[in-house]
């Protein structure tokens, strides 16, 4: 059975790995909002994700990769290879 992507789990994993409390995000969101995100009660916009990732010191794609691959390094490689192939195909189709 394929695991469902989990942005809430990825957010919490990175936040804890960086040693950050929910209050550490006070410049970009409230503790209540962070809690809601980590419990899957709310969904952030791309702009909000970028702000949160800046506080955590990671690229937004790192967060999304963790959300889709979890802590499985083999699955991480598969996700990143798939993204690379898709980007190559899209860029070749647009002539970029």
Domain positions in the chain are: 7-68
Looking at residue 24, the DSSP 8-state letter turns out to be G
Q: Model pTM?
A: 0.85
| Residue range 31-90, pLDDT digits in tens | 899 999 999 999 999 999 999 999 999 999 999 999 999 888 899 999 999 999 999 999
**DSSP code, position 29:** S
The pair phi, psi for residue 2, each rounded to 5°, is -80, 130
- 3-state SS assignment for residue 15: helix
What's the CATH code, domain 7-68? 1.10.260.40
């Amino acid at each position: 059975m394929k695991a469902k992507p989990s942005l809430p789990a990825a957010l919490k994993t990175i936040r804890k790995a960086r040693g950050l409390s929910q209050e550490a995000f006070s410049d970009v969101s409230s503790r209540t909002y962070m809690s809601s995100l980590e419990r899957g009660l709310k969904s952030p916009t791309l702009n909000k994700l970028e702000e949160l990732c800046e506080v955590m010191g990671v690229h937004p794609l790192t967060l999304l990769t963790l959300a889709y691959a979890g802590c499985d390094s083999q699955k991480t490689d598969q996700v990143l290879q798939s993204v690379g192939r898709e980007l190559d195909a899209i860029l070749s189709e647009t002539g970029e």
